[in-house]
């Protein structure tokens, strides 16, 4: 019992472990939208405080490449305050099908609004916007709560084990002979008495 208690006491706290391992933090935010004839697939990874990568995939309704996109810009705006965020151009990749922004800084945990603008040479610009929540590792760990059903199940198992041990000890005491220890005690006492007599002589 003491070994078990000592082992449990030496374990790292669950919330501290969750914060260190990133448990409870979403891997990415994914948003899909359509504006006229432009399909958006926007991914923000890892959507937490620090550096984030933004990926925008563009396509037309038939899945073909958007040919007339000359620039794609994104703004990650903190909703609760005006921090003066500006539209930032993304780098073209895969022949214009994918546009990327690496290392976008999100320094405050909270709700953000992502705004994506596609500038086109021969038609109106295409736009989409959506909101998402950015967590820090510590805040995400605080959202982890034990499941009530699991806790009740474990508590019931603990009571069952304790009750089983008590019952086993009780039944063992009933079935053992009441004076089974006496012969052993008498034998030990006789040996000690003989030794004392020999020493006295």
> Based on the domain organization, do 44 and 131 belong to the same domain?
yes
Contact between residue 42 and residue 56 where contact means Cβ atoms under 8 Å apart: yes
> Based on the domain organization, do 97 and 185 belong to the same domain?
no
pTM: 0.56
> Based on the domain organization, do 44 and 99 belong to the same domain?
yes
Q: What does the pLDDT look like over 149-186, one tens digit per residue?
A: 776 777 788 788 888 788 887 777 666 565 544 454 44
pLDDT attached to residue 45: 92
pLDDT attached to residue 199: 46
Q: What does the pLDDT look like over 24-45, one tens digit per residue?
A: 556 789 999 998 888 999 999 9
Cα separation of 174 and 171, whole Å? 5
CATH (domain of 131): 2.60.40.1930
Instruction: Give the domain-ending residue among 142, 163, 186.
Output: 142
Query: Does residue 8 belong to any structural domain of this protein?
Result: no
- From 60, 170, 50, 33, select the one nearest 114 (Cα to Cα): 33
> Based on the domain organization, do 158 and 138 belong to the same domain?
no
Q: What is the end-to-end Cα distance of the chain in Å, rounded?
A: 49
Kindly state the tokens that stand for 52: 């984030």
pLDDT attached to residue 129: 94
> Based on the domain organization, do 116 and 60 belong to the same domain?
yes
Cα separation of 92 and 24, whole Å? 32
pLDDT attached to residue 171: 75
> Based on the domain organization, do 77 and 100 belong to the same domain?
yes
Q: ∠ CA(106), CA(80), CA(25), 5° rounding?
A: 45
Structural domain range at position 66: 14-142
* DSSP structure class, residue 52: E
Cα separation of 60 and 37, whole Å? 6
> Based on the domain organization, do 106 and 157 belong to the same domain?
no
- From 112, 55, 56, 40, select the one nearest 83 (Cα to Cα): 112
Higher pLDDT, 8 or 44: 44
Cα separation of 99 and 46, whole Å? 17
Query: Does residue 7 belong to any structural domain of this protein?
Result: no
Higher pLDDT, 198 or 81: 81
pLDDT attached to residue 128: 94
pLDDT attached to residue 154: 75
Instruction: Give the domain-ending residue among 98, 115, 142.
Output: 142
Give me the residue label for tokens 């004839």.
Answer: 37
Q: What does the pLDDT look like over 103-152, one tens digit per residue?
A: 999 988 899 999 999 998 888 889 999 999 988 765 545 555 566 777 67
> Based on the domain organization, do 113 and 137 belong to the same domain?
yes
Mean pLDDT value across residues 49-76: 88
Contact between residue 28 and residue 41 where contact means Cβ atoms under 8 Å apart: no
Residue 69 CB burial class (10 angstroms; 0-12, 13-18, ≥19): buried
> Based on the domain organization, do 164 and 137 belong to the same domain?
no
Query: Does residue 37 belong to any structural domain of this protein?
Result: yes
> Based on the domain organization, do 124 and 184 belong to the same domain?
no
Domain count, the chain: 2
């Amino acid at each position: 019992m003491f070994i078990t208690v000592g082992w449990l006491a030496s374990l790292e706290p669950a919330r501290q472990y969750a914060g260190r391992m990133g448990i409870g933090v979403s891997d990415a935010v994914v948003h899909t939208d359509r504006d006229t004839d432009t399909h958006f697939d926007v991914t923000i990874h890892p959507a937490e405080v620090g550096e984030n990568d933004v990926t925008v995939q563009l396509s037309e309704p038939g899945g073909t490449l958007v040919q007339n996109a000359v620039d794609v810009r994104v703004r990650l705006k903190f909703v609760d305050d005006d921090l003066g965020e500006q539209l930032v151009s993304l780098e073209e990749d895969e022949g214009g099908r994918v546009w990327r922004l690496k290392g976008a800084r999100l320094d405050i945990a909270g709700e953000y609004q992502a705004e994506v603008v596609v500038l086109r040479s021969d038609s109106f610009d295409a736009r989409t916007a959506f909101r998402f929540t950015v967590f820090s590792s510590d805040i995400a760990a605080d959202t982890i709560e034990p499941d009530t059903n699991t806790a009740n199940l474990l508590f019931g198992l603990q009571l069952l084990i304790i009750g089983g041990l008590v019952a086993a000890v009780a039944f063992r005491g009933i079935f053992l002979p009441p004076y089974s220890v006496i012969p052993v005690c008498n034998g030990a006492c006789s040996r000690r008495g003989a030794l004392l007599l020999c020493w006295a002589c």
